[in-house]
A and B are shown apart, each in its own frame.
Chain A
Amino acid sequence: MKRFNVPILLIVLLSTLMGLAWFEVIDLYIQTIILFMGINIITSTSLNLVNGNMGEFSCGHAGFIAVGAYVSSILSVALFTKSKVFGAPLLPPEMAAYGFPLVLICGGIAAAFTGLLVALPSFRTRDDYLAIITIAANYIIISTIINIDTIGGARGFMGMRRVIFAMEECAEIPWMILWVFVFMVLSIIIIRRYMSSTYGKGVEAIRQDEVAAEIMSVNTNRIKLVTFMISSGLAGIAGGLYAHTIGYINPKSFDLLKSTEALVMVYLGGMGSISGSIIAAVVFTLMIELLRPLQIIKWVAIPLLLIIIMQFRPEGIMGHRELSDIFPRLKKFYKFK
């Protein structure tokens, strides 16, 4: 009975946010920060699946974000708006409101298969080597995008604003808040269901002793690929949401710095902890905004913070625990594991 409280809580939270945005109680700037929080939550929880739960070291998360961002942006712009590159909309723009989630999912699927392409050769290695390969993959993806001139190359790609306008034609509600929220909740549900199943526990077993896992009938190769695909697919969805929030994407915004941001969030929150990653994403997004006056020095302050965390609390904010481990009374409402 008590567990029904969580969906109600989420609906209340969503409608409050949308209401505040609708009546313009919170301005666009704050709305954007809230959107970034949601997107960063997807980014950090999805990277946490590989780096925290599986214990591999993937450094190229931004590459998959880029794939998702570009694929979904191109699709939505081509399908729902009139643009210089793709000409007249392929579908009536009124369909944008319903088509948008499907477009996002397409971006996610594209990112997942890019993840598979990266994982197939690179999972023969591990640790440092895997880190190097994923960094390389990140750069390969960026340079590929830069060299495709039809989608803007290094100049970037835009037109996603018009997709949002097309959606607002249908109904004038803060669409992005709705979709970011829905996909954030969905990706947390996906990760949680995956990790709480016996199948997903194989991921933990791989981190702790891969040889024992393989000998005890766990198909380690397959699980590693599936986990990496889920992780990169969710990153792709985060990318699509990011692109449509900003309205403009540029290959440079998905370089190693973006991957580092994702890594910082995972290590800040605690390896393998879903609630840790969520808390870290919120804290990190706020921090970035608060430190904005520092401009480029921000990127001295944030890594410094990471070093300090690693020095004094190497397991991150939550360690390997979930919120419900620290506050057992929460278990009545929601079991994080």
Chain B
Amino acid sequence: MTLLEIKDLTQLFSGICAVSELNLNLEQRELVGLIGPNGAGKTTVFNLVSGFYQPTHGQILFQGRNLARIKPHRISALGIARTFQNIRLWKDMSVLDNILVAQHYQLGYGLGSLFFRTPRYLKRERDIRHRALELLEIFKIDKFAGEKPGNLPYGMQRKVEIVRALSSGPKLLLLDEPAAGLQSTDVTELITLIQWIFDQFDLSIWMIEHQMKVVMSLCSRISVIDFGRLIARGTPAEIQQNPEVIKAYLGDDQL
């Protein structure tokens, strides 16, 4: 079944075409990649899907529902979670609090019960905290629960950010360059982590990645965009042989 459907998506920034007539489909339980040279518009596509920008033209359908004019926090509640290219954890909050705040979509209490500390409020807070700690435990980062993310090594911060995204129970997880800035040993670990997440959780993963090692070993399908335009799609092996892709990355030798 189709999870995400992108139809004729176009995004103009004051006349500059960042994404142009993009058509893409994502099935349920798929791990796919989006690659392209720098400035190809990959992150723009993610920003559009997560509701951060409103598309100039075209539609984004998530489980058949049009995402136009839905606020980002609602989209997140619908089941799309993402990470950022440059880690955007809340730096002055503990790791646990970072996970807790991501539960805003399912607080289930109002301001009244908050101020009077009603049993319902206390129960919801307890449940949310319990679930967050459980998730930290699953990913073996529960020992960092009280730490500020800034005190953790870079690779661990990445992991926390992915866990934060997962904590909102998404059906689609968008990973924006998860391997950026990681050392090669950490990259291997990341590949295992993403594969593990994909196996354990009932979700689809769509990721942008520059490191071919990551994309080629994880993704079942890859789309390539260049200058906002889809230039190729297929399995990793097909993409590696595609002359269009090679041209986009390495340039045309027949100038």
**Is B one of A's binding partners?**
yes
Interface residues of A (CB under 8 A from B): 190, 193-194, 197-202, 204-205, 208-209, 211-221, 226, 320
Residues from chain A with a CB closer than 8 A to the CB of B52 are: 211, 214-215
Q: Does B100 sit at the interface, judged by CB under 8 A? A: yes
Q: Report 22 cross-chain contacts, Cβ distance below 8 Å, ordered by A residue.
A: A190-B115, A193-B114, A193-B117, A197-B114, A199-B107, A199-B111, A201-B97, A201-B101, A204-B92, A204-B101, A205-B90, A205-B93, A209-B88, A214-B71, A214-B72, A215-B52, A216-B102, A216-B104, A217-B76, A217-B77, A218-B101, A226-B111
List the 4 closest pairs (A to B, CB-CB), nearest first.
A217-B105, A217-B76, A212-B88, A208-B90
Residues from chain B with a CB closer than 8 A to the CB of A205 are: 90, 93, 101
Cβ of B22 to closest chain A Cβ, rounded Å: 21
Contact with A along B73-112 (1 / 0, CB 8 A): 1001100011010001111110001001111110101010
Residues from chain A with a CB closer than 8 A to the CB of B82 are: 215
Docked complex: B170-201 residues within 8 A CB-CB of A: none
Residues from chain B with a CB closer than 8 A to the CB of A198 are: 100-101, 103-104, 107, 125, 128
Residues from chain A with a CB closer than 8 A to the CB of B165 are: 216
- Cα A255 to Cα B76 with chains together (Å): 43
Given contacts A201-B97, A201-B101, contact A217 B73 (CB under 8 A): yes
Pairwise interchain contact A194-B168, C-beta atoms closer than 8 A: no
Nearest A residue to B168 via CB reads A217
Pairwise interchain contact B88-A211, C-beta atoms closer than 8 A: yes
Interface residues of B (CB under 8 A from A): 50, 52, 71-73, 76-77, 81-82, 84, 88-93, 97, 100-105, 107, 109, 111, 114-115, 117, 121, 125, 128, 164-165, 168
The number of residue pairs between A and B whose CB atoms lie closer than 8 Å in the complex comes to: 88
Pairwise interchain contact B92-A208, C-beta atoms closer than 8 A: yes
Residues from chain B with a CB closer than 8 A to the CB of A215 are: 50, 52, 72-73, 76, 82
Residues from chain B with a CB closer than 8 A to the CB of A190 are: 115
- Cα A226 to Cα B92 with chains together (Å): 22
- Cα A202 to Cα B73 with chains together (Å): 12
Residues from chain A with a CB closer than 8 A to the CB of B107 are: 198-199
- Cα A174 to Cα B76 with chains together (Å): 54
- Cα A132 to Cα B95 with chains together (Å): 35
Cβ of A315 to closest chain B Cβ, rounded Å: 12
- Cα A200 to Cα B77 with chains together (Å): 18
- Cα A200 to Cα B93 with chains together (Å): 13
Residues from chain A with a CB closer than 8 A to the CB of B73 are: 214-220
Residues from chain A with a CB closer than 8 A to the CB of B114 are: 193-194, 197, 199-200
Residues from chain B with a CB closer than 8 A to the CB of A208 are: 90-93
Pairwise interchain contact B93-A216, C-beta atoms closer than 8 A: no
Residues from chain B with a CB closer than 8 A to the CB of A204 are: 90, 92-93, 97, 101
